[in-house]
Structure 1
Amino acid sequence: MAHRPHSVLPLLARQAAKVLSLAAFGGAGAWLAYSRFAVDHRVPLPRALPDPLDELDSAAGVVALYGNATGDGPPLLLVHSVNAAASAYEVRPLYLHFRGERPVYALDLPGFGASERRRRRYTPGLMVEAIHTATAEIRRRHGGVALDALALSLSAEYLARAALERPEDFRSLALISPTGFDARLSGRSPPGGHRGKDGLFAALDRPPWGRALFDALVSRPSMRFFLEKTFGSRDIDEGLLDYGYASAHQPGAEHAPFSFIAGHLFPTDATALYEALTLPVRVIHGTRGDFVDYRDLPRFARRPNWTVARLPTGAFPHFEDLPAVTRFLAA
């Protein structure tokens, strides 16, 4: 299969531009009315995971942390990806596998799931602060021990920065389908930069059109389309679709995704972050779908602290072949 860049972001941007264009040519009033009066923006949102959820105050706002402290060994923190409908449900198979075997926790990043979703510009720095808050709380509960942490997709870059800023917090990192190894999203720019376009963000996250636009992006057909891109197959996880739809139909659900579409959540220093890691790093990714460009990964695989594997799956291999993923993580 030919390598393709991480294409969900430009696809989302193109769909957003298409909806804005349609609005400009006369359909705006009808769609705005439909969004306001026909779309439910308070769909019941159950807990993503079957354990207590704590709300933690952080520099990034209030963030939600699921946790189960039973089991032996160092605690494990799981961090979901970033997309239009992200939440801790994305790590559910891993959470349920480790639950009771070892202490396991899962974070809802700012703007997603059960975390605070206020209107603001979301950046990598906010995501890193949320990880720091969760890590500090987990260490407090477990006598200060360093923990293992796992992140999906774009959040791998946030986790890498968190580990570099506070190396005493982490024993090891695991990255599933991480971004930053392709030609488009790699980089060695100065720390703290992002790829955000302020003009695009301002055009997207603007009442009253912003919510109506977001409703078009997170309709069930649209979400199924993007999940099929992620899985590289029509055989998606239906529970993930259902929870993602509910999560995307909450008050304020559009704000963080608009920062994602406008580029503000994409760091410009991914390569430098990964190169600076000295703790053990395990990477696993699939070979199907729109997330298959890992052209820069082989040189990291030659590093003594990196272990890399791939599976014949899409970008969420833990939903398709959980035994293979957990065997790799435990090896």
Structure 2
Amino acid sequence: MATSLDALTPALPGRREVIDTAAGRVGFYASSEAEGVPLLLIHSINAAANAYEVRPLYLHAQGARPVYALDLPGFGFSERSRRLYDPRLMVDAIHAVAAEIAGRHGGVRVDAIAVSLSATYLARAVVERPEVYRAIGLISPTGFDRRLAGRGPAGGDRGSPRVRRIVDSAVLGPALFALLVSRPSMRFFLRKTFGSKRIDEGLFAYDHLSAHQPGARHAPYCFVAGYLFPTDATTLYEALTLPVLMLHGSRGDFVDFRDAPRFAGRPNWTIRALPTGAFPHFEDPATVTGAFDAFFAGLA
């Protein structure tokens, strides 16, 4: 069942569109008047995720090349119905929007950038449909630490039915989510992400608005219960053969990239650490956008 999101203002400029997909109704932002290889941007996964998380990248690309930003299922303007949210659902949404973009631009291969946990979904999308993509960027990708790296069952997840039943119960669910997305809680987790008290206040404000829309708790509870974490992240990254630029921060709670050196030696991978938190594109947009501009320009 779809939910009404009439109170949610747009996170980004440009056209806001919604298409029907195998993952339900999926929303995305589009600014496609410029010429060039289209760029798809994919936000991270958390209790209040949405396309605002890629805003600095979107604004930089706007007018220079066609740029699109996806709201993954359960977030932003995409469908937020009560259902199981898992990696397969997220990958299907990426497949649908990437195919839509490629079709609008004469079948050209697209570039894509994903943040944090969504990097694993983008990696699977590329592995499953390599003909759709030219190159990808990963910002603070999940799966390079000891806890979430893995070569487990293909397509598996780390979900716990028991945890989901507890957090998603009719009695406890709404109260728990209200606490999770309260202003103090959200500020606390953003500070952990940025590794500093100097968070982006625009992101904080929009996250709070988005997290208080109908159906907002359903996808985050699958996240809390582990269903959105794949078991085969390492296998997916190892299977990538197209050019990859990976940027990650070195400050805050999400800076364990101990497995990155193994990938740095691969000819198609470029990895760069920055003195920022997990969202370097907010803290140092000039360096991040400059790195991606040079990376993509070098493919021409």
Relative to the length of structure 2, the TM-score reads 0.95
TM superposition shift of 1:190: 1.8
Task: Tell me if structure 2 keeps the 8 A contact 1:43–1:249.
Answer: no
Larger Rg: 1
Give the counterpart letter for 2:249 in structure 1.
Answer: G
Aligned counterparts of 2:30 and 2:230: Cα–Cα separation in 1 = 28
Residue 146 of structure 2 aligns to a residue in which SS?
Answer: coil
Aligned counterparts of 1:298 and 1:131: Cα–Cα separation in 2 = 28
Q: Which residue of structure 2 aligns with residue 279 of structure 1?
A: 242
Aligned counterparts of 1:112 and 1:276: Cα–Cα separation in 2 = 28
Aligned counterparts of 2:271 and 2:180: Cα–Cα separation in 1 = 34
Residue 145 of structure 2 aligns to a residue in which SS?
Answer: coil
TM superposition shift of 1:43: 9.1
1:172-191 to 2 correspondence within 5 Å? 172-191=135-154
Q: Deviations over 1:93-120 (max 9, x none)?
A: 1000000100000000000001000001
166, 184, 189: which one aligns with 1:221: 184
Alignment of 1:318 with 2:261, yes or no, is: no
41, 46, 52: which one aligns with 2:9: 46
TM superposition shift of 1:238: 0.4
Aligned counterparts of 1:273 and 1:107: Cα–Cα separation in 2 = 21
Aligned counterparts of 1:44 and 1:137: Cα–Cα separation in 2 = 27
Equivalent pairs counted in the alignment come to 291
1:270-309 to 2 correspondence within 5 Å? 270-309=233-272
Q: Which residue of structure 1 aligns with residue 298 of structure 2?
A: none
Task: Tell me if structure 2 keeps the 8 A contact 1:42–1:249.
Answer: no
Q: Which residue of structure 2 aligns with residue 103 of structure 1?
A: 66
Task: Tell me if structure 1 keeps the 8 A contact 2:39–2:68.
Answer: yes
1:172-251 to 2 correspondence within 5 Å? 172-251=135-214
* Greater per-residue helix proportion: 1
Q: Which residue of structure 2 aligns with residue 8 of structure 1?
A: none
Give the counterpart letter for 1:99 in structure 2.
Answer: Q
Aligned counterparts of 1:283 and 1:101: Cα–Cα separation in 2 = 22
Aligned counterparts of 2:13 and 2:6: Cα–Cα separation in 1 = 19
Give the counterpart letter for 2:122 in structure 1.
Answer: L
Residue 134 of structure 1 aligns to a residue in which SS?
Answer: helix
Residue 318 of structure 1 aligns to a residue in which SS?
Answer: helix
Q: Which residue of structure 1 aligns with residue 297 of structure 2?
A: none
Aligned counterparts of 2:122 and 2:147: Cα–Cα separation in 1 = 20
Aligned counterparts of 1:175 and 1:79: Cα–Cα separation in 2 = 10
Task: Tell me if structure 1 keeps the 8 A contact 2:26–2:72.
Answer: yes
Q: Percent identity?
A: 65
TM superposition shift of 1:92: 0.5
Stretches of structure 2 that go unaligned for 5 or more consecutive residues are 295-300
Aligned counterparts of 1:90 and 1:76: Cα–Cα separation in 2 = 15
Aligned counterparts of 1:113 and 1:323: Cα–Cα separation in 2 = 26
31, 42, 55: which one aligns with 1:79: 42
Superposition CA RMSD, Å: 1.1
Residue 215 of structure 1 aligns to a residue in which SS?
Answer: helix
